[in-house]
Structure 1
Amino acid sequence: MSTSATDGRVRKGDRTRQAIVHRAADIASMEGLEGLSIGRLASDLEISKSGVFAHFGSKEELQLAAIGAAVEVYVDHVVTPAMEGPAGLVRLWRLTERWIAYSRDRVFPGGCFFFNTAAEFDARPGRVRDALAGAWSGWRALLIAEAEAAKSRGEAHRDLDTAQLVFEIIAFLEAANGISVLHDDEDAYTRAGTAIRARLLSAATDPEALRAPMTE
């Protein structure tokens, strides 16, 4: 077999795998990771069950791959667009604004992928739970790093409890996602944004630096 033919098969296989894991992430955001099945994915993507199974040796491997795909989508939609400019309160604000847009615009059809799937596995030890916990911990650590940078730059009060601030921010975001999905209530995002802005203003040494509206 020629090298070009082999390369073509590899590229096709990669595209198929990507299609499977992204569809799996969409389904999991609505029906949970336990809702994934080889048959459902094969039907949705119009490929054979053996074609799906060839890429994953087990349901757990499929679940882990879906989490990995969801992390990539999350980074693309939430983290990367917010990283312009110096670290600190403005970047922290941008991250929360991007999270609200990610959930509100239904990047995943079921709202935040991690909010929905974490509830399935939070009390179930194993690799899937560890992957979900790792993704959540990475998000929390990023927010805390921005809050700590704000303290170092003199943008936030020196006695600010950054872990408490981030706990409250995440609580507001997750409440907005849950209320919006369950009650079809778009106002939840506005309320979350208002609450987060007020909390950041109270933490800021110069509130005027945060009063300008953020740009999308």
Structure 2
Amino acid sequence: MSPRRTLAEARLTRAGIIRHGVDVASVEGLEGLTIGRLATDLGMSKSGVLGHFGDKESLQLAVVELAADEFWRDVWEPVAAAPAGLPRLRAVAGSWLRYLTGDRPPGGCFFMAAGPEFDDRPGPVRDAIAGAADRWHRELLHQARQADGEVARDPEQVVFELTGIMLALHAAHRLRRDPSAPARAARAVARLLDLRD
């Protein structure tokens, strides 16, 4: 077997471990993401999994990175070409709503689960989660500022309230299994982005 093929196979194996790690962590949290659990799920040895990362923290960081990339791909990219201003802000909000009520990842929004798990725990994993959340906040704020004048609210307040709606949706939909949560969230977003003070 050529070294090039071996390297390519190793990359594919590592990518598969990380992909599965996102799914596991979305349901059981990043602390539930263990080398042993992944090895069992993927039919690998513990040393085989560990060899790709070195330690649990490196695995967690790789999982956070992929989760952030997938969130961006699933929420932002489908609406990035919408007309700037209020139309794009509405499109972003709608895309975020669809993501939160979808079935990928299986445990719901990775960051809404990981944030509370690591919010008061200093270290690289918390920093990576906070960095992904900050990036999303900056993008939302940019979109709200572009809609300034079309929505008669301070852009910072719009982002704060929009995030609050999404957190409420996630809790109602995932924890309480409230079937009316998506429609309620959509109405709350419409009021936030349609009404003028």
Alignment TM class, shorter chain as reference: over 0.9
Work out whether residues 33 and 117 of structure 1, in 8 Å CA contact, stay in contact via their aligned partners in 2.
yes
Out of 161, 177, 182, the residue aligned to residue 175 of structure 2 is: 182
Work out whether residues 104 and 189 of structure 1, in 8 Å CA contact, stay in contact via their aligned partners in 2.
yes
Work out whether residues 169 and 196 of structure 1, in 8 Å CA contact, stay in contact via their aligned partners in 2.
yes
Work out whether residues 33 and 63 of structure 1, in 8 Å CA contact, stay in contact via their aligned partners in 2.
yes
Work out whether residues 26 and 108 of structure 1, in 8 Å CA contact, stay in contact via their aligned partners in 2.
yes
Work out whether residues 28 and 35 of structure 1, in 8 Å CA contact, stay in contact via their aligned partners in 2.
yes
Q: 1:1-216 counterparts in 2 under 5 A?
A: 5-151=2-148, 154-157=149-152, 160-203=153-196
Q: How many residues align?
A: 197
Query: SS where residue 175 of structure 1 aligns?
Result: helix
Larger radius of gyration: 1
Q: Deviations over 1:28-87 (max 9, x none)?
A: 111110001111101111122111101111111111111001011101110100101332
Query: SS where residue 52 of structure 2 aligns?
Result: coil
Q: How does the TM-score come out when normalised to structure 2?
A: 0.95
The one-letter amino acid paired with 1:102 is: Y
Could you say which residue in structure 2 is the equivalent of 1:208? Answer: none
Q: How does the TM-score come out when normalised to structure 1?
A: 0.87
Work out whether residues 114 and 132 of structure 1, in 8 Å CA contact, stay in contact via their aligned partners in 2.
yes
**After the TM superposition, which segments of 4 or more aligned residues of structure 1 sit over 6 Å from their partners?**
none
RMSD: 1.5
Consecutive unaligned residues of structure 2, counting only runs of 5 or more, are: none
| Structure 1 residue 156 displacement after superposition | 3.5
Deviates more, 1:26-35 or 1:6-15: 6-15
Query: SS where residue 155 of structure 1 aligns?
Result: coil
| Structure 1 residue 203 displacement after superposition | 4.7
Work out whether residues 104 and 186 of structure 1, in 8 Å CA contact, stay in contact via their aligned partners in 2.
no
Q: Deviations over 1:168-214 (max 9, x none)?
A: 0011011101111111123211111110111100259xxxxxxxxxx
